Structure 1
């Protein structure tokens, strides 16, 4: 079997139609060339392992000690590589609140990496968010979502702006949502103090994503349901959830799945530079973050400042803690975000003709074993031995 052709045999494959045990997946070049069939000599033996599509992260700020908000290409490359080694084969680079001109410069750098295929686009989280729900964003840098300012950032990304998180209750919020929808950029409701009615108006104007649902927004009250209920109940909305055991209690995550279903949930990391690293001090845009026992908090004020999560951990937690089926976990980690980004024809499921973006996990522990992107092993491929007899 040539270097640009290989086959994996004996694995459990999580396919769109269900889970198939002990099957065969053939790769040719960058793509999946076929599914099913009998193992042949030279195939790699993946008995005891499970193969799922590469993970797709809609919302991640950094990793490996590096930040997408640095505006430095080498840092962005390091962050992307860190998450790639943990199974994220498609990643959207998220910025953090800063001066408009600084964000535009960051977007220009990230757009070049998008053109090179390193990232799948840019997500602007801030500065168009509520001061009352700003979390790990500098309040003095926040701005109302004036459509002209929003458009300036979108244009700076040179066609690679994928998503803008904003608070729709702020002046210009609904107009910006409409503009983003017209431009084909995802308008996401987040870091918001919006009520139920204004959130419904934002959805009606074209908002289709809830940025890290439950976090940085009002909770549910019995006479004031707030944004959470509005976002959960509307079938047009995809809800982001951070399954790291810190941002959400497992029962809250279960509630979201029970209401929206896996077909409307995108599991994200919201990771900052400490992902894949140890405890210590790290920058998050213009702010300093201290990580202790894997939990990231602002040095000043102590607010949770993103996560140190990687999506392989989110996958394992979803199956072992929340009891999701393998197909449900794959939906939320791969299929749903790929569809939202308009990339479902290339990634998000294991199907013939799609890119060979694969994650291999142990079938018992669900720990990460290997990652393949576009037909090339990124990590772990050396552990699989070829089959020598039919």
Structure 2
């Protein structure tokens, strides 16, 4: 791992919380951002004292991406429950700009989910720290979802909400579970949503047949997020707005979007941008193990998946099965296909997910005092460099 004692990145287009510095610098020391400013405010003493001076030559300097919904990559799946897979996934996605992520499960047996929690807990506590992208915790997607909207989740393992399971997981692995996706209309869901909210865990709707009224009621109990909006949920109808209608109109619900050109039409991404941006929209990958690899046969949660032309579908053709997306691809897509500015796309990929997870005091933006999770991206939006806590990892 490359750990420069002090690094100054100069001549960069620096995207900060409230502005873009057209010709700026960022000074990094001890893994944190020490100062940010315009080039004309950078002293000669700072220049000469830096252990490394990197000329960005006008490239964008953005905060590292935070992916709250990702299942795997480069042949590995979080459900494998092995340290090798966690290392492989975090390495692959770090090479594509993700500096923080949630290990996301699928609907599976209690034993399989226990194994993931145990492996992620051990990985986050490993001696010497995490070498690539940081795992901030676990996103439990299922198994408390609707059998009417399984998507690529294995229906054999769908069960009604079990609040006791969550109490046991919280007791055994405090602060490890950061998010849970469930169907709010199922028996016991409101009790579980209250528990999640009380424990500071994001309660998210997904794979759900809820009515508009049921989502509104769930919001009153603590529901605050929607996973892969438009996908695997009851759609919008003018007499029954459904889950989509509630997500679009309830200001307290933040929304994820898979911006790959396959899951959601760009016009619908534009609708989300109008209604949920700048603060309540997040880019995610929902990437599966095939991300970074070619077309072929794969598996997701015990279901057979075929990837053709980069699109992952269940072998029976019934559903999309996650994606092969990376966060830098998602940023490029929304910029190029929806007319979104780089600054706003960066916010959707970094600051908003940081806020969702309560990490905004330490990461998610280029601000003095925060961790130096940084990306250098060319004017053509090609990823050039990646730093995690000041360590150059690409």
Question: TM-score scaled by structure 1?
Answer: 0.94
RMSD: 1.5
Q: Confirm or deny: 8 A CA contact 1:64 1:273 kept in the other structure.
A: yes
Q: Which deviates further from its counterpart, 249-258 or 113-122?
A: 113-122
Aligned runs of 1:180-191 on 2, under 5 Å?
180-191=196-207
Tell me, yes or no, if structure 1 residue 104 matches structure 2 residue 114: yes
Q: Confirm or deny: 8 A CA contact 1:111 1:122 kept in the other structure.
A: no
CA distance in 2, matches of 1:83, 1:147: 32
Tell me, yes or no, if structure 1 residue 80 matches structure 2 residue 107: no
Structure 1 gap segments, 5+ residues each: 380-390
2:5 maps to: 4
1:58 maps to: 68
Measure how far apart 1:151 and its partner are.
3.0
Change (3 A) 1:3 1:31: same
CA distance in 2, matches of 1:239, 1:161: 19
CA distance in 2, matches of 1:157, 1:277: 33
When the two structures are aligned, how many residues end up with a matched partner? 377
Q: Confirm or deny: 8 A CA contact 2:79 2:112 kept in the other structure.
A: no
Q: Confirm or deny: 8 A CA contact 1:168 1:192 kept in the other structure.
A: yes
Structure 2 gap segments, 5+ residues each: none
CA distance in 1, matches of 2:369, 2:232: 40
**Alignment deviations for residues 295-314 of structure 1 (CA, whole Å, 9 cap, x no partner):** 01112344100000000011
CA distance in 1, matches of 2:338, 2:393: 29
1:386 maps to: none
Residue among 139, 149, 153 paired with 1:123:
139
1:388 maps to: none
Residue among 303, 309, 315 paired with 1:299:
315
Measure how far apart 1:156 and its partner are.
4.9
CA distance in 2, matches of 1:33, 1:262: 27
Residue among 196, 199, 224 paired with 1:208:
224
Aligned runs of 1:1-390 on 2, under 5 Å?
3-36=4-37, 37-38=41-42, 40=47, 43-116=53-126, 117=130, 118-363=134-379, 365-379=380-394
CA distance in 1, matches of 2:214, 2:173: 29
CA distance in 2, matches of 1:62, 1:4: 33
Q: Confirm or deny: 8 A CA contact 1:105 1:156 kept in the other structure.
A: no
**Alignment deviations for residues 107-140 of structure 1 (CA, whole Å, 9 cap, x no partner):** 1111222334541000110110001100111112
CA distance in 1, matches of 2:336, 2:111: 44
Question: TM-score scaled by structure 2?
Answer: 0.93
Q: Confirm or deny: 8 A CA contact 2:177 2:201 kept in the other structure.
A: yes
Q: Confirm or deny: 8 A CA contact 1:108 1:158 kept in the other structure.
A: no
SS at the partner of 1:8?
Answer: strand
SS at the partner of 1:43?
Answer: strand
**Alignment deviations for residues 292-346 of structure 1 (CA, whole Å, 9 cap, x no partner):** 1110111234410000000001111121211112221121100010011111111
SS at the partner of 2:136?
Answer: coil
Measure how far apart 1:149 and its partner are.
2.9
Q: Which deviates further from its counterpart, 212-221 or 297-306?
A: 297-306
